[in-house]
Amino acid sequence: MNTILISSAKLVSPHHPLDGEVVDILIEKGLVSKVSSKVELNDQKAVVIDGSGCVVSAGFFDLHANFGEPGLETKEDIVTGTRAAAAGGYTAVAVYPNTNPPLHSRSEVALVVNAAKGSAVDVHPIGAISKKREGKELAEIYDMQTVGAIAFSDGNHAVQQAGLMSRALLYSKGIDALIISFAEDDSVAGGNQMNEGEVSTYLGMKGKPNLAESLMVSRDLFLAEYNDAPIHFTCISTAESVELIKNAKKKGIRVTCDVAAHNLVFSDEEVQGFDSNYKVNPPLRTKKDIDALLQGLSDGTIDAVVSQHTPHEVEFKNVEFQIAKDGIIGLQTTLPLLVRAGLDAEAIVQKLAIAPREIVGQPVPALTSGSAANLVLFSVDEQWTFDAQSNRSKSSNSPLLCAELRGKVKAIINNGLLVENK
């Protein structure tokens, strides 16, 4: 790597002595060499990045992304997925086991780890809780942990058997692993298409009630408390879930949770146009739920925000709403959505860079002299167009495609590599 100087950027790093100050950051051979109000540069070959009006922080870490590799590479492979992640400001992503075969043994986990080597974005596999993600028999959790799995989830298959989830929590506690719950009771959700409420009634569509999520959150909180084990809920979407988790934290249960960025901005009213790019799971909820989610972010009940990046080929989305697959691509649009939701730079860094790493026990990059350079430079004010030219994903299933967005990632640095967004 060449010598790099990031000049005149506001540093957001809560435990750094210069937090909140406008600084220059000098990076040499992949290491942070100097951080100060002014750095004199003698290297004529150095890359200089103007950070005026921008924020520099530890690189973002996505706790919930879906790549297709292995088996579903036509949706997204690790190369295109990490390109999209880099463009979105991420220096690390946790990839879910929604693959074919799923990440349910050491061989699939090791494949992902090895395929991602040499990238500017670290890829951390989330191993499956159960074999084939069928919810019947525990997968080899310890084996997967030894080759790089940082947590365990059945992805978009919620674990329906309480006994299996209880055993998973107990087993994971013994090896200091984290179980991630995707909360949906299938018997209540019924495979329906959107949120149950006034809009679904108006459209004549069967809806998924909030109860399908809150029942499962309640169950898994009981199981975590019973086993005295940590649990993380991903992509919560309802006011009831926020309240349940808030009370559990007060009670001392070891629980954390995240929310998908699109659930903070879009409501079920978007579905009235039957645009399948608004079809996600959990579904877009009501404005009352959005208000509760934003309040949960503000008061610390919700620890992190995720992209829930879920790419699909055009033939799975450019169809009638009822038969379209759930999910949108989100790695490049999470920052703009948080800006739209009203989060300031400090909250964005906390929810995208710091808390996600703390949840899965990964070190937070220090941005101090001598440390490995792992950072993102971004603007909360600059506007850009998310279109076919700027999209780095292999897929294009996003309601924000061709939209003018505010909040742009300028560059990331990680693993001795610089990736700039021109």
The string of pLDDT tens digits covering residues 50-87 is 999 999 999 999 999 999 999 999 999 999 999 999 99
- Model confidence, pTM: 0.96
Q: How does pLDDT run across 116-166, given as a tens digit for each residue?
A: 999 999 999 999 999 999 999 999 999 999 999 999 999 999 999 999 999
Residue 201 has pLDDT above 70, yes or no: yes
Report the CATH superfamily, name and number, of domain 59-359: Metal-dependent hydrolases (3.20.20.140)
Query: What was the pLDDT predicted at 190?
Result: 86
Above 90 in pLDDT, residue 44?
no
Spatial separation of the C-alpha atoms in residues 125 and 149, rounded to whole Å = 5
pLDDT higher at 25 or 192:
25
Strands (E) located in 196-240: 207-208, 231-233
Longest dimension (CA), the chain: 68
CATH number assigned to the domain covering 4-56+368-381+404-420: 2.30.40.10
Band of pLDDT at residue 227, cut at 50, 70 and 90: very high
* pLDDT beyond 70 at 1: no
pLDDT bracket for residue 109 (50, 70, 90): very high
CA distance 5 to 48: 5
> 404 phi and psi, to 5 degrees?
-85, 120
For the chain, the structural domain boundaries read: 4-56+368-381+404-420, 59-359
- Taking the alpha carbons at both ends of the chain, their separation in whole angstroms is 19
- Helix and strand tally (H, E) in the chain? 13, 18
- 365, with CB counted inside 10 A (0-12, 13-18, 19+), is buried
Tokens read off for 262:
């699109």
- The yes-or-no answer to whether 4-56+368-381+404-420 and 59-359 have a common fold is no
Write the pLDDT tens digit of every residue in 358-388.
999 999 999 999 999 999 999 999 999 999 9
Mean pLDDT of 210-236: 98
Percentage of the chain lying above the pLDDT 90 cut: 96
